[in-house]
């Protein structure tokens, strides 16, 4: 008997995915004082963990139901179709992004753009580099998340099939792969050298964990999350992470950290999803689920509607955010890098993302009305786009 996949849409997923997109945008603008509001400055994890977990959850939510109702072939085919859609979006974004950077670098005769954005190799050997980009091996600055998502989507059909039958076994295999990646230093090669900034063999754990929570893990963990002891441990760990993070910005207090702890803890590896980062995300998730239930009235407030809208159209808004982040970086370099300008660039960028999400939502609504009575899948936007 396959476990039932809930048909209810959880607006918390849209809300926090939208907020994660905003935070990623702010973090992608170099030397941006506004980025101090993002969570990466106050703990071990950042918005990337939120985005990957919610992506895994929504993918399992949407395609798990499709696989359960229409079979593994149809469900798997729809998942691979989604991976192809994201791949096409990535190549489209790559083309526009390269054109944007090349035009700005040539127009303002500033080689800094080429170096900072990691496109020097492309401008030197565009033919070879373009092929490597199509193979997802060449990735300029700020374009590492979509290739990770593409690989995770493409490899997810067999995992989802197993998860619908033996969810614990699927999660255990994910943990084994994560451990092997750490033990043997496994990663995918990048171009022109090195490896992927987000190792898919490690980050798949968070993606699969999100899917596990969507399929059956959420119900299993409910009692644990509601435990006062777990809440205390989560708060204590967040406080510990905050204290350690402050030593990075205020070196004089770093001597209070015991040497043995520093030697055990560092480096806190983002490339391979360090356990400390994963635990920090879990602590945040525990408090979020405990204090923001799925029926929280605030989820229907106008104040949170902009973030929810962005979260409901995450692929388009993420691509737009990458483009806007470089535009903001350009404005800070060529016009002014004052605090007022940084606030203006950050606010304007988020406003454009919200406006774009609203236009996309309006267009889909109008398109749905004009299409007549033809049936439309109710889960079409839950994975960030058409399922």
pLDDT tens digits, one per residue of 50-93:
999 999 999 999 999 999 999 999 999 999 999 999 999 999 99
Per the prediction, the chain carries an average pLDDT of 90
Q: What ranges do the domains of the chain cover?
A: 11-365
pLDDT at 341: 97
pLDDT at 218: 79
Is residue 44's pLDDT more than 50?
A: yes
Is residue 2's pLDDT more than 70?
A: no
- pTM of the shown model: 0.92
Is residue 386's pLDDT more than 60?
A: no
* Local confidence band at 102 (pLDDT 50, 70, 90 cut-offs): confident
Average pLDDT estimate for 153-182: 97
307-357: pLDDT as tens digits: 999 999 999 999 999 999 999 999 999 899 999 999 999 999 999 999 999
pLDDT at 331: 93
Average pLDDT estimate for 17-35: 96
pLDDT at 19: 97
pLDDT at 271: 97
pLDDT at 371: 52
Residues above pLDDT 90, as percent of the chain: 77
Q: Which residue has the higher pLDDT, 289 or 220?
A: 289
Residues above pLDDT 70, as percent of the chain: 92
Average pLDDT estimate for 254-261: 93
HEC-encoded secondary structure of the chain: CCCCCCCCCCHHHHHHHHHHHHHHHHHCCCCCHHHHHCHHHCCCCCHHHHHHHHHHHHHHHHHHHHHHHHCHHHHHHHHHHHHHHHHHHHHHHHHHHHHHHHHHHHHCCCCHHHHHCCCHHHHHCHHHHHHHHHCCCCCCCCCCHHHHHHHHHHCHHHHHHHHHHCHHHHHHHHHHHHHHHHHHCCCCECCCCCECCCCHHHHHHHHHHHHHHHHHHHHHHHHHHCCHHHHHHHHHHHHHHHHHHHHHHCHHHHHHCCHHHHHHHCCCCCCCCCHHHHHHHHHHHHHHHHHCCCCCHHHHCCCCHHHHHHHHCHHHHHHHHHHHHHHHHHHHHHCCCCHHHHHHHHHHHHHHHHHHHHHHHHHHHHHHHHCCCCCCCCCCCCCCCCC
């Amino acid at each position: 008997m396959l476990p039932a996949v809930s048909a209810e849409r959880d607006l918390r997923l849209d809300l926090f995915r939208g907020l994660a997109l905003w935070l990623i945008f702010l973090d992608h603008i170099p030397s941006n004082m506004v980025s101090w509001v993002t969570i990466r400055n106050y703990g071990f994890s950042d918005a990337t963990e939120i985005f990957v977990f919610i992506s895994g959850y929504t993918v399992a939510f949407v395609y798990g139901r499709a696989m359960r109702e229409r079979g593994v072939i149809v469900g798997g085919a729809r998942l691979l179709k989604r991976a192809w859609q994201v791949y096409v979006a990535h190549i489209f974004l790559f083309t526009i992004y390269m054109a944007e950077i090349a035009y700005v670098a040539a127009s303002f005769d500033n080689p800094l753009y080429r170096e900072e954005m990691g496109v020097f190799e492309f401008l030197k050997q565009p033919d070879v580099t373009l092929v490597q980009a199509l193979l997802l091996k060449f990735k300029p600055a700020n374009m590492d998340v979509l290739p990770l998502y593409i690989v995770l989507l493409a490899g997810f059909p067999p995992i989802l099939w197993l998860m619908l039958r033996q969810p614990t076994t699927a999660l255990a295999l994910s943990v084994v792969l994560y451990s092997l990646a750490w033990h043997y230093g496994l990663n995918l090669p990048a171009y022109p050298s090195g490896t992927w900034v987000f190792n898919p063999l490690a980050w798949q754990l968070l993606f699969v964990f999100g899917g596990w929570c969507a399929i059956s893990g959420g119900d299993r963990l409910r009692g644990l999350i509601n435990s006062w002891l777990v809440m205390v441990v989560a708060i204590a760990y967040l406080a510990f992470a905050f204290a350690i993070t402050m030593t990075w910005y205020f070196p004089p207090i770093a001597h209070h950290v015991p040497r043995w702890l520093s030697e055990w803890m560092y480096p806190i590896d983002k490339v391979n999803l360090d356990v400390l980062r994963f635990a920090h995300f879990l602590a945040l998730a525990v408090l979020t689920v405990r204090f923001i239930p799925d029926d929280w009235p605030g989820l229907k407030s106008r104040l949170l509607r902009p973030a929810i809208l962005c979260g409901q159209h995450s692929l388009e808004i993420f691509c737009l955010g990458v483009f806007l982040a470089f535009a903001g970086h350009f404005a800070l370099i060529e016009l002014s890098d004052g605090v007022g300008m940084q606030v203006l660039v950050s606010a304007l960028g988020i406003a454009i993302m919200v406006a774009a999400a609203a236009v996309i939502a309006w267009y889909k609504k109008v398109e749905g009305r004009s299409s007549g009575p033809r049936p439309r899948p109710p889960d079409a936007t839950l994975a960030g786009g058409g399922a």
